[in-house]
Amino acid sequence: MENKKGHLISNVLPGSIAQEMEIEPGDILLKINGQDVIDIFDYQFLIQEEELSLIIRKPNGEEWEIDIEKDEDDDIGIEFANGLMDDYKSCHNKCIFCFIDQMPKGMRETLYFKDDDTRLSFLQGNYVTLTNMSDADIDRIIKYHLSPINVSFQTTNPELRNKMLNNRFAGQALEKVKRLCVPGNGIELNGQIVLCKGVNDKEELHRSLSDLYALRPNLQSVSIVPVGLSKYRDGLYPLEPFNKDDAREVIREISFWQEKAFKESGTHFVHASDEWYLLAELPIPEASLYDGYGQYENGVGMLRLLMDEFHDGMNILKEKYDSEISYYSAEFSMATGRLAYPTIKELVEEACDYCKGLKVHIYPIRNDFFGERITVSGLLTGGDIIAQLKGKPLGTKLFLPQNVLRAGENYLLDDITVPEIETELGISIDIIKQAGYHLVSELFQKDIVPDTDDGEDIE
C-alpha cells in the first residue's frame, strides 16, 4: 500500500495496547501525532513518544483518533502487511561475486530479488552497500539513531569498489560511512568483505582493514568471507577459488589486526569465517576469539559454537541420564553440507563411543545443483538430498539442519518440501533446529537444552 494511503495492519498482538484500544487487522494507520508515516523508520521513531495520537481508518471508512499514554520503550503491538511499510529497495549493483547471478534459471522469482535496503539492515541484519542511499537517508539514520547498520565494504579502495560492484558511485558511497561514524552520532556498524582471489585480497585487503580499523569504535566488527562460486558462471567475471596457501595468508593478515585490536580495545574486531580455517587445515579458534559471536550469521564461529555446545550438552546428558544411557538403543541418519561434515562426524562419533547402542549414519551431501565448490548446508536442495540418500541405510529417522529450509517455510531452495523428501526416502525427518545442545537432544531423545540457549542454527 502506498504511503499516502496509509499502512495496512495485518496483526494486533494479544494483550497489547493496540488490542486494548480496539485496533484490528484490516485497519489502516494514517498518521501518528499529526505526522505522515513514510516507512518503518518513521514508525519506530514516532511510537517511542509517551503520548501518541493515532489516526486509524476502519474498513468501513470511518476514521478514529486514538490517544495513547504509555512508557517510552513500550511497543503498542501492531504488525503491518508490509514489514518495511514501503517498497523494498532493490540492488543497483552488478557485483562480480553476486551469488544471485550464479543461480540457474527457472527457480521461483523471489530468489532472484536483490535487496540493498538499509531498513532491512536495521531490522533483519541484512548487509547493504549504501550505493542507493541518499544524503537524506543518512540524515534519517542519524536523526532516528538507527543502529546497528551492516555494511558490505568489499574494499575501501574507491576505484576498485567501483569495479567490483560495477557501479560508478560505489566508491563515493564509502563517504557515507564516514558520516555515520562522526563522533557523537553514535551509529554502530558491522562490516563484511567478500574476498575474491586476485581482486581485493593481499595488499588490497591490508589497505581495507587499515582503513576500517580507523573507523572504530563505531565500526564494531568486520568479517572476511570467501566468495562463493557456483557452476553457473558463464559470461561472468572470471574468479578462481582460494587454496590452502591462500587461506593461510588470509588468516595471517586477519591475525595481525586481531592482535592489534585486542591489545588496544579488548576485542578482536576482524574475524575469518569458518571456511578459511578448514581450507587452511588449521584448528578452529577458541570461543574467546569470536567476541560473543556477533558475526555468527556470516559463518563466523559456527563450528566453534557447535563444538562447545555439544560437549557441554554431553556433560549435561551424562549428569542427568547416565544410568539410562546403557539401555539406550537407536539408529538414525544425518545429512549435512560437506563443509561441516568432518566436524559433525567427529562429534557424533564421540556420542556413539559413549553409547554403544547408538548408531548414526552421517552423509555429506555433494551440491550437484550449484556445483561442488558450494559446500554449505544452507544451499543444499531437496533433489540432491533425495538422489544421494536413496537406497542408503537411514535408520528410523533422518536429521536435517534447519538452515536447509527457507526462513519460516517447510521447503528447500528447489521448492521440494520436507514431506516430499520423507515420501521419496521412506523415512521420518526431524529438523535439528539449533546448534550443539539440540544435536545431543536429538541423538539421545532427551531434553538437555539449557534455558539460556540462544538457539543458533546447526550446519
**If you average pLDDT over residues 453-457, what whole number do you get?**
49
Domain count, the chain: 3
**If you average pLDDT over residues 221-230, what whole number do you get?**
96
d(CA 195, CA 158): 16
Diameter over CA atoms, the chain:
69
Q: Does the pLDDT at position 25 exceed 70? A: yes
Closest CA to 458 of 341, 358, 315: 341
Q: Does the pLDDT at position 455 exceed 70? A: no
Q: By three-state DSSP, how is residue 249 classified?
A: helix
Name the pTM for this structure. Answer: 0.85
Range with the lowest mean pLDDT among 78-87, 98-107, 263-272, 424-433?
Answer: 78-87
Q: Does the pLDDT at position 420 exceed 70? A: yes
Closest CA to 221 of 254, 185, 247: 254
Counted residue by residue, the chain has a size of 459
pLDDT of residue 332: 97
Residue 85 belongs to a domain: no
Considering the domain architecture, whether residues 274 and 152 belong to the same structural domain is answered as yes
pLDDT of residue 116: 61
Residue 281 belongs to a domain: yes
Closest CA to 43 of 88, 92, 78: 78
Residue 225: which CATH number?
3.80.30
Closest CA to 353 of 396, 320, 318: 318
pLDDT of residue 72: 80
The whole-angstrom distance between residue 164's C-alpha and the CA centroid of its chain comes to 22
Residue 86 belongs to a domain: no
d(CA 380, CA 369): 8
pLDDT of residue 381: 94
Give whole-number Cα distances, 62 to 38, 121, 126, 232, in Å.
22, 36, 38, 54
**Residue 376 φ then ψ, to 5°:** -85, 150
Q: Does the pLDDT at position 206 exceed 90? A: yes
pLDDT of residue 2: 39
d(CA 364, CA 392): 13
Residue 275 belongs to a domain: yes
**If you average pLDDT over residues 429-452, what whole number do you get?**
87
Query: What percent of the chain is modeled with pLDDT above 70?
Result: 93
Going by pLDDT thresholds of 50, 70 and 90, the confidence category of residue 122 is low
Going by pLDDT thresholds of 50, 70 and 90, the confidence category of residue 1 is very low
* 186's grid cell: 553514535
**If you average pLDDT over residues 119-127, what whole number do you get?**
67
Considering the domain architecture, whether residues 153 and 173 belong to the same structural domain is answered as yes
Residue 93 belongs to a domain: no
pLDDT of residue 128: 84
Residue 374 belongs to a domain: yes
User: Per residue in 58-105, pLDDT tens?
Assistant: 999 999 999 999 988 788 999 988 777 777 776 778 899 998 888 888
pLDDT of residue 105: 83
More confident residue, 126 or 403: 403
pLDDT of residue 369: 94
* 89's grid cell: 529497495
Considering the domain architecture, whether residues 183 and 316 belong to the same structural domain is answered as no
Map grid coordinates 542408503 to a residue: 392
More confident residue, 3 or 323: 323
User: Per residue in 26-39, pLDDT tens?
Assistant: 999 999 999 888 88
d(CA 269, CA 50): 37
Strand pairing class (189-195; 219-226): parallel
Map grid coordinates 557515507 to a residue: 176
Considering the domain architecture, whether residues 167 and 287 belong to the same structural domain is answered as yes
d(CA 276, CA 250): 8
More confident residue, 183 or 295: 295
Considering the domain architecture, whether residues 371 and 240 belong to the same structural domain is answered as no
Considering the domain architecture, whether residues 308 and 295 belong to the same structural domain is answered as no
Considering the domain architecture, whether residues 386 and 429 belong to the same structural domain is answered as yes
d(CA 114, CA 120): 12
| pLDDT averaged over every residue in the chain | 90
Considering the domain architecture, whether residues 16 and 144 belong to the same structural domain is answered as no
Kind plus residue range of the DSSP H or E element containing 149: strand 149-152
28 is in which domain, residue-wise? 3-80
Q: Does the pLDDT at position 376 exceed 50? A: yes
Residue 449 belongs to a domain: no
> Is 287 in contact with 308 (CB distance < 8 Å)?
yes
**If you average pLDDT over residues 404-414, what whole number do you get?**
83
The whole-angstrom distance between residue 16's C-alpha and the CA centroid of its chain comes to 29
Q: Does the pLDDT at position 285 exceed 50? A: yes
More confident residue, 116 or 238: 238
Q: By three-state DSSP, how is residue 66 classified?
A: strand
The whole-angstrom distance between residue 317's C-alpha and the CA centroid of its chain comes to 30
pLDDT of residue 101: 87
User: Per residue in 245-255, pLDDT tens?
Assistant: 999 999 999 99
Q: Does the pLDDT at position 3 exceed 50? A: no
In the chain the first and final C-alpha atoms are separated, in Å, by 38
User: Per residue in 286-326, pLDDT tens?
Assistant: 999 999 999 998 899 999 999 999 999 999 999 999 989 98
Q: Does the pLDDT at position 43 exceed 50? A: yes
Considering the domain architecture, whether residues 27 and 113 belong to the same structural domain is answered as no
The whole-angstrom distance between residue 46's C-alpha and the CA centroid of its chain comes to 28
